[in-house]
Amino acid sequence: MKMQFRHLTALFIIFAVSFSCERSIKQSYKNWSVYGGTKDAMHYSSLIEVDTSNVGELQVAWEYHTGDADTGSSTQIQCNPIIVNGVLYALSPKMKLFALDAATGKENWVFNPEVLNRIDTNAPAKLPLTFLNTGRGVSYWTDGKDDKRVFYTAGYYLICLNANTGKIITTFGENGHIDLHDGLGRHVKDRFITSNTPGVIYKDLLIMGSRVAEDATAAPGHIRAYNVITGKQQWIFHTIPQPGELGYDTYEDKNAWQHLGSANNWAGMSLDEKRGIVFVPSGSVAFDFYGGKRLGNNLFADCVVALDAATGKRIWHFQTVHHDLWDRDLPTAPILATITKDEKKIDAVVQITKSGFIFLFDRETGKPIYPVEEKQVPTQSELQGEKPSPTQPFPTFPKPFARQVLNEGDLNNLVSDSSYQDIKKRLASYKTGNIFNPPSKEGTIIFPGFDGGGEWGGPAYDPSTGIIYVNATEMPWILTMIDVKNDEKTNETYLQAGKRLYMKTCVACHGPERKGAGSYPSLINVNKKYKELAFDQLLANGRKMMPAFNTFSAEEKSAIASFILDIKHNQSKKFIAPLKTKDPYLDLPYTSTGYNKFLTKEGYPAVKPPWGTLTAINLNTAEVVWKDTLGDYPELKAKGIHSGTENYGGPVVTAGGLIFIAATSDSKIRAFNKRTGQLLWEAELPASGFATPAVYNIDGKEYLVIACGGGKLKTKSGDAYVAFALPAKK
């Protein structure tokens, strides 16, 4: 009898704990008031009104058009909206911040950052600040009473607005904004800096990363925290360590910290508020593809760094790539999950990578939960001064969620024989077979590509099952290095100087023939869009992926304009080189020929499909629960070929049993059964939804909203946010 009583008591305790846990999950994840849903970056909603039985009934609830998309494919929206107290906050293609009634899509107010050009008379820009960057979201703070604030970055300004009115709070920073150039400890006023991803709020601190250039002129990517009331900088963590700091000895050149840049957090952060720990994923040190000026392992580049959120002090770190030569920035905030190992619950940090790896760390100590092996990798480099790391870390659990090696047997055989023979011949001329083959002059295959594997959309995680859902792109790219000819002549013309400056500074993105590649546009016939004044302002401010080039003198800007814009009356003028102090750290011997995808003659990826995938992985067991192809090329779909597409933006998982994701180039948003991977619903969007959806509740009604900005992968630009809901009950 006693044994039976104990058994019943144990069952009651288990049921009570389970019920309490489930209730806690439901309460914590029913809103979407933070970028990515919650500060643990789970992309999870506990809402259940929309489920596997009725998702097919979803219909458009409202549609809001911002009205400021460019024609063609020149603008984007990558924003994941937040919803607070029934108000939706989001960004337009040209970086206006707006507030809508989240139930109807009715506009409450719009803030145009052009106003800052009138407030800050010292600003060098004469073009609207909307010209400068793409934003993925905003941050919200309240004192719980009347003070409600939203923060976001337009250009190089971190801006603070009244959440109720959209008016600038002038007591924050300088007249309501902070110049992100300030407070880095170095003079970087002439360097490019912005922030694509919103900061994370911890108590009265706004913790910010940044996006900086990726060439030798990059500003340092240090992490900073600001007081949400005053805008005063409260702490800074040096991602490129200074003398006396941990990691300083991971650079052979002890003066490098004064010159090198990047190692930035552009992908966002996650926060354990209970423990007061912010988890920061970082990128590589610039220049991306040549490390001869930054020999060593290069902390804190390519790291997950756990910081005390109150002070910025390092708690632990783990470096996922040593001496990065492949642009292997950590692309998204890590998920803070609780997993089960050996029947024990472990609070974990889950970090995906562009390479398709998943790293799992103990949240408090940073110790890998499963072994990470340091494996020997190729070290032979033909680039003088380069010293690749002899080993790189490989997680043993779980297995990669994307293919990592491209060999002849992996080539696309859906194309004609002549096209297949072409890619076969080209592959034989490239370095391939190892994801850590060093950059080379003959060309090195980067697979999965520069844009993943995993990317900035980030995965979703279901805390009730321990399953992570991650979308991936599998596109091979070719990295080709060339010599930089520093043959500045005393009698150069503007045309000669312009060509030289282009090959030194611009070729890595736009290519030797100025045809562009990847996210970087062609410059052929760009003189039809820009005149010299507008081009000069473009160089001064940057645009989308393009950083600013304020290190150019006026004479150099005119010279490069004469070449790119084909200004014939200037091309024969004598170029007078500006007097500059030579910085050897900017004088790189090599650059790349640009971001070039490995494509067939028809324009398809040179690898066999699938080119986009969605994978469900149980983090407790390492099992792939299911894997599906994500997206379609219409002409291939008509032939019965489900190929997948490159994808940008992440999924959302719900307690209703669903995975919602857009992300693909075919302008669809889809719902999958989270248990089986079965496609249950899809809808056509006005433009591709290269963003992560948000799921939220208004008065008991569940909504799904997605930004439809297009603009990537040669798709048309859009200006809409579309919300879906079930039809009203009759």
Residues 371-412: tens digit of each pLDDT: 999 999 999 999 999 999 999 999 999 999 999 999 999 999
Question: Is residue 168 within 8 Å of 229, Cβ to Cβ?
Answer: no
The model carries a pTM of 0.91
Q: What angle do CA 56, 25, 303 make, to 5 degrees?
A: 100
- The C-alpha atoms of residue 507 and residue 509 are separated, in whole angstroms, by 5
pLDDT on residue 526: 78
Name the range with the highest mean pLDDT among 25-29, 502-506, 570-574: 570-574
Angle between helices 554-564 and 494-505 (to 10 degrees): 90
Tokens of 613: 């995938």
For residue 164 the two structure tokens come to 């109720």
Mean pLDDT of 88-110: 97
- Please give the single-letter amino acid code of residue 695: V
670 pLDDT above the threshold of 80: yes
pLDDT computed for residue 122 by the predictor: 52
- Are the C-beta atoms of 509 and 520 separated by less than 8 Å? yes
Question: Measuring CA to CA, which residue among 121, 110, 115, 58 is closest to residue 88?
Answer: 110
Q: Is residue 685 scored above 70 in pLDDT? A: yes
Provide the 3-class DSSP secondary structure of residue 108.
Answer: strand
Which amino acid would we find at residue 452? G
pLDDT in tens, 35-76: 999 999 999 999 999 999 999 999 999 999 999 998 878 899
Per-residue pLDDT, 2: 43
Q: What is the pLDDT of residues 420-433, one digit of tens each?
A: 999 999 999 999 99
Q: H helices within 396-463, ranges in order?
A: 417-428
Residue 5's pLDDT is: 42
Give the pLDDT confidence score for residue 127 in this predicted structure.
41
* Stretch 335-354: mean pLDDT: 97
DSSP summary character for residue 597? E
CB-based contacts of 274: which residues, under 8 Å, 6+ apart?
none
Do the Cβ atoms of 691 and 720 come closer than 8 Å? no
Q: How far apart are CA 366 and CA 615, in angstroms?
A: 26
One-letter amino acid at 23 equals R
Query: How many residues are present in the chain?
Result: 730
Q: What is the pLDDT of residue 25?
A: 66
What the block records as the tokens of 83 is: 């919803």
Distance from C-alpha of 172 to C-alpha of 66, rounded to nearest angstrom: 27
- Do residues 47 and 703 lie in contact, with contact meaning Cβ atoms separated by under 8 Å? no
Mean pLDDT of 611-628: 96
* Residue 47: Cβ-neighbour burial (10 angstroms; 0-12, 13-18, 19+): buried
- Give, in order, the Cα–Cα distances in Å from 619 to each of 176, 349, 374, 496: 44, 11, 22, 57
Name every residue whose Cβ is closer than 8 Å to that of residue 479 and which is 6 or more positions away in sequence. 289, 326, 439, 440, 443, 444, 445, 446, 592, 596
- Please report, as a single letter, which amino acid is at residue 410: D
Question: Collapsing DSSP states into helix, strand and coil, what is residue 693?
Answer: coil
Contacts of 169 (CB under 8 A, 6+ apart): 149, 160, 161, 162, 176
Comparison of pLDDT for 205 and 23, the residue scoring more? 205
pLDDT at 14: 39
